[in-house]
Amino acid sequence: MSDHSEVAYSIADGNDYQAHEDTYEGFIKLAKIGTTAVVIILSLMAVFLT
């Protein structure tokens, strides 16, 4: 049987951890902006369409 030991991703070849962190930060920022935009649009719809 082959050895299925735990892979240490922090030291594995080919990992670009900084790029991963930057991508995640960008995703979180986009999610916040999108949520804020939806809340504003719904608020404006509630005011002007009722």
Query: Is 2 a residue whose pLDDT tops 70?
Result: no
Specify the pTM: 0.66
Q: How far apart are CA 48 and CA 50, in angstroms?
A: 6
Query: Is 40 a residue whose pLDDT tops 90?
Result: yes
* Residue 29, token pair as written in the block: 């920022």
* Rg of the Cα atoms in the chain: 21
Q: How far apart are CA 35 and CA 27, in angstroms?
A: 12
* Residue 44, token pair as written in the block: 């404006």
Amino acid present at 34:
G
Which of helix, strand or coil describes residue 11? Answer: coil
